[in-house]
Chains A and B, each alone.
Chain A
Amino acid sequence: SQQGEEDPQALSIQEGENATMNCSYKTSINNLQWYRQNSGRGLVHLILIRSNEREKHSGRLRVTLDTSKKSSSLLITASRAADTASYFCATVFFGNEKLTFGTGTRLTIIP
C-alpha cells in the first residue's frame, strides 16, 4: 500500500515560476525524503528531512514538514525546463527502515 499521497498529480507552470507540491502521510515517521525521476529513469534523491526538523533547503529546493498535519511540501523556486520530471515523496516509519513511496507529482515546465 502507498503511504504518501502527493498533490497535485500533475502540475504545469511557466519557466521562472515557483512550483509547489505536497505530500500527506498517515502514520508517524522517522524521516521523509523527496526524489526526482526523469522520464523512465532511476530516481535521484533530493532532500531528506527528519521528524524533528521543520524546514530544509538545498539550492532552489525548500522542503517543509508539519508532523501535526502529517504533511510535507516541496517548493522549487525559479523553475527551469530541466526541472520537468516526476517528484516522489517517500516515508520511513519508526522501527522500519523501508521507504514507502507515493504515486508522485508530474511537473512540466513550459519554456
Chain B
Amino acid sequence: DADVTQTPRNRITKTGKRIMLECSQTKGHDRMYWYRQDPGLGLQLIYYSFDVKDINKGEISDGYSVSRQAQAKFSLSLESAIPNQTALYFCATSDQRGSTQYFGPGTRLTVL
C-alpha cells in the first residue's frame, strides 16, 4: 500500500555503523509504529508514537532510537548496528487507539 512508504527497501551494513530507516505516510494518521520481524516469527514492537510530541518504547527498544519529525514521518535509527539486528523492519500507522494498522512494505536490513 503506497500510503505508507519505507526507505531504503534493502540495506547491507557493517557492525558498528549507524543506520537510519525512514517511514512516510500519506494517510494522515497520528499514530505510527516501528516493528521488527525475525525469520519465522511474529512482529515485535520497537517504538511507537501517538503524535509528534509523544514517543514511547516498545518491547525491544534497546539499541534503537526514533525521531518523529512530522505527523507524516517517523524514523528509526540503529546507533551502532550489530549482527543480531539483522531482520525485517516494518513501519505502521493507525488512526485510532487499538484499531487497524496499515503497514509499509518493509526494510530488509543485514548487519555483517
Contacts and interface: CB of A to CB of B under 8 A. Distances in A.
Interface of A: 1-2, 4, 30-31, 33, 40-45, 48, 88, 92, 96-104
A48 B42 contact: no
Contacts of B42: 2, 4, 88, 101-104
Given A1-B59, A103-B41, A42 B104 contact: yes
Contact of B48 (A33, A98, A104): A98
A53 B108 CA distance: 37
B41 A42 contact: no
B106 A41 contact: yes
Which of B31, B42, B45 has the largest count of A CB atoms less than 10 A from its CB? B42
A2 B31 CA distance: 22
Q: What bracket does the count of chain B residues touching chain A fall in?
A: 20 to 34
Contact of B103 (A1, A43, A98): A43
A43 B105 contact: no
B98 A31 contact: yes
9 contacts: A40-B108, A41-B105, A42-B1, A43-B90, A45-B102, A88-B42, A97-B31, A97-B97, A101-B42
Which of B40, B92, B97, B98 has the largest count of A CB atoms less than 10 A from its CB? B98
B40 to A, nearest CB: 7
Contacts of B45: 98-100
A31 B100 CA distance: 10
Contacts of B97: 97
